[in-house]
Structure 1
Amino acid sequence: MYFFCIVIQGDVLKCDLPYFDICVANIPYQISSPLTFKLLSHRPISRCAVIMFQREFAMRLVAQPGDSLCCRLSVNVQLLSRVSHLLKVGRNNFRPPPKVDSSVVRIEPRKPLPPTLGAIFKQKHALELLEKNYKTMQSLQLTSDAEKDEEKMSPDDVALLSMT
């Protein structure tokens, strides 16, 4: 068995990525969201990515339903992958120290992807579709928690709504 490393220098958002098994990156924080989704949509699917993000972004990635930081980003990334927080990197570890703390996150794409994802992301108005289906689901009492709002929905709830 042998291992090799490819270093890509340039704008990762503009280049075509070659096949890779693992991505390890320390990125400019302003490209966190577009890079995360570029990696998750890359085919063939990689085994995992270990990336240092601004701490607030990282905490949103790993936020669970009901957490104050849970948002559309949390649900969408967790529909496509398993996300885990590995470690906090304090600003005092850098010279000069930045104004924000960082965190290292592991992202493992789901294999296979949930079958409903294509339908969700091909919809021009996906949010309106989910809201409509959620209201229908509530009226049919298919959920035990009729007061559940989007911040408290799990990725499984979103997948269920897309099939309603």
Structure 2
Amino acid sequence: WWSFELLVLLSGLLANPKLEASVLSICLNTASLTFMIPFGLGAAISTRVSNELGAGRPEAARLATRVTMVLGLVTGVSLGLIMISVRNLWGYAYSNEKEVVEYIARMMPLLSVSIIFDDMQCVLSGVVRGCGLQRIGACVNLSAYYLVGIPAALCFAFVFHLGGMVLI
């Protein structure tokens, strides 16, 4: 969560800080909203995998994982398609400024792809927790966000001058 907030703060250093921070906040709010479904799937698969492994049924745990991954993928793709289809309207839920609404519409396809991958990350984190490997999951997630994600976003935004589009 803090990694996203850090990116919103850093968006204030871009060329048009008011627009960039506003749009990035809206996009991250949208991502948080869509995150709730895969978060529930992650919690469910964590419980299911731990119960199946505890009962000595690794094949059942594997099957439950596959089913939940498919559900996560279908959910992510569905949410992504919905976001793309309402991209020209979504900004009006947050702002009546045309510039903000148009920028959000341009960011929605990228946000949609991000939603798909974030859904899968959430489901797979639940699997890792269910296997009792919380430390490994935490290290992977922290490394992905703080050692790879933030530096890459900052590099693209400030070194290659791609702006707020790459901060989501």
TM-score, normalised via structure 1 length:
0.27
Higher helix residue share: 2
Higher strand residue share: 1
Q: Which has the higher contact order (CA 8 A, sep 6+)?
A: 2
